């Protein structure tokens, strides 16, 4: 299952992406290298988010979505006939522009993916590690049982970042995740 191009984790060639009859993206080739940060730059509405969501099959949830092309993760076609989108998202995580914490405690928000993937390690340690990496631990360490929805918008976004990185996915896709954060965050 090695990548055909050395160092490429995701090779994405999207000839066309449609929502119904609307052509949203055409002629997009995105090779993403291991250990590198890859940024998409372009004007509003040009399809950056559409391409990003195509990488881990989030667009599958959008009515009328279809595309011509391929997305290979470590050489495997993530849109292959027997590929479960949930498994794809286990390895290719996502943080959205708008925070979307679950209606559960701060702790359970971060532990959610770990529990879903039947994590066998020290859950408390992994939750703390993720919250520290997302620069929110000091603000929430004494209120982990409080609802994630009780946090401010910036705190909710950092909680969502912690949730995405807690499972230690191979790739984390971020769709302008810091646009609404305070500069200190």
Token representation of residue 61: 């949830």
C-beta of residue 98 within 8 angstroms of C-beta of residue 119: no
Is residue 181 within 8 Å of residue 98, measured between CB atoms?
no
The domain 84-185 is classified under which CATH number: 3.30.365.10, 3.30.56.10, 3.40.720.10, 3.40.50.300?
Answer: 3.40.50.300
pLDDT range class, residue 184, cuts 50, 70, 90? low
* pLDDT range class, residue 3, cuts 50, 70, 90: very low
| Its pTM surpasses 0.75 | yes
**Which residue ranges make up each domain of the chain?**
8-83, 84-185
As beta bridge partners, residue 18 has 23, 66
Place of tokens 């990548």: 3
- Greater confidence (181 vs 53) lies with 53
Query: Which tokens belong to 23?
Result: 């052509």
Indicate the pLDDT class of residue 7, thresholds 50, 70 and 90: confident
Whether the pLDDT of residue 147 is over 90: the answer is yes
């Amino acid at each position: 299952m090695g990548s055909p191009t050395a160092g490429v984790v995701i090779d994405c060639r999207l000839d066309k992406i449609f929502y119904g009859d609307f052509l949203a993206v055409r002629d997009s080739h995105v090779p993403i290298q291991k250990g590198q940060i890859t940024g998409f730059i372009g004007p509003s509405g040009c399809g950056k988010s559409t391409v990003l969501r195509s990488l881990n099959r989030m667009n599958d949830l959008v009515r009328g979505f279809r595309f011509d092309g391929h997305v290979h993760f470590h050489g495997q076609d993530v849109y292959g006939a027997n590929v479960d989108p949930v498994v794809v998202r286990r390895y290719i995580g996502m943080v959205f522009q708008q925070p979307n914490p679950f209606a559960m405690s701060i702790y359970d928000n971060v532990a959610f993916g770990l529990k879903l993937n039947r994590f066998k390690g020290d859950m408390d340690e992994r939750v703390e590690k993720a919250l520290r990496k997302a620069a929110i631990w000091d603000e929430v360490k004494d209120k982990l049982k409080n609802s994630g929805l009780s946090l401010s918008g910036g705190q909710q976004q950092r909680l969502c970042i912690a949730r995405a990185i807690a499972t230690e996915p191979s790739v984390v896709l971020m769709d302008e995740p810091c646009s609404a954060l305070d500069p200190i965050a």
